[in-house]
Amino acid sequence: MSTQDTAAIQPKRSLLEEFMFGAKNGFYLGVEKIIPAMIIAYVLITFLKITGLMAIIGNIISPVMAIFGLPGEAIVALISAFFAKAAGAATAATLYADGTINAIQATILFPATITMGTLIGHFVRCVVTSGTNPKHHPLIIAIPIIDAVLSMFLTRMIISFMGIS
């Protein structure tokens, strides 16, 4: 999402102008990516709760999520992240807001939602654009998911090492 490529074309800005430009981009990103993601995440969670699907999904997956110190419901954040990073993080924040997960569990989910987020969209922008050998594609597409699993272990270890509870 950088605007670095445009920076080369335009005349040099002062530091204040750079800051204003970046902050303005931040505002647009908020309007274009974050708020829509928050709305879909909140509506999705509300839907899953009212229908009772949340409890069902949570129960089925809870033994797996327990490995990372997370309740089963946390899988919803990871599934949303698969489609869009912002939706994954927003879903985790929603789960925190309604008390399904605590702050430590939200922290464990944080790097994972970013690492494995927007997998399909970025496959084109990153893997295809760079012209990677198609034979390596299946392996490369698995890497962000492996990374996300590792990040949950690592974050959990850091939190317990720092003695935060």
Nearest distance in Å: CB 143, other proteins = 4
Give the residue ranges of DSSP H helices in the chain: 4-7, 15-29, 35-51, 53-66, 75-83, 85-97, 103-115, 119-122, 137-161
Q: Which is nearer to other proteins, 50 or 63 (CB)?
A: 50
Nearest distance in Å: CB 106, other proteins = 5
Q: Which is nearer to other proteins, 59 or 132 (CB)?
A: 132
**97-102 LR contacts (CB < 8 Å, sep 24+):** 98/45, 100/71, 100/73, 100/74, 101/70, 101/71, 101/73, 101/74
Q: Which is nearer to other proteins, 61 or 81 (CB)?
A: 81
Nearest distance in Å: CB 124, other proteins = 10
Alpha-carbon gap, residue 97 to 108, rounded angstroms: 16
Q: Which is nearer to other proteins, 63 or 134 (CB)?
A: 134
Alpha-carbon gap, residue 78 to 99, rounded angstroms: 17
Nearest distance in Å: CB 75, other proteins = 16
Q: Which is nearer to other proteins, 73 or 151 (CB)?
A: 151
Nearest distance in Å: CB 161, other proteins = 11
Which residues are CB-contacts of 8 (< 8 A; sequence separation ≥ 6)?
Answer: none
Contact 21, 13 (CB under 8 A): yes
Other CB atoms within a 10 A radius of the CB of residue 68 amount to 18
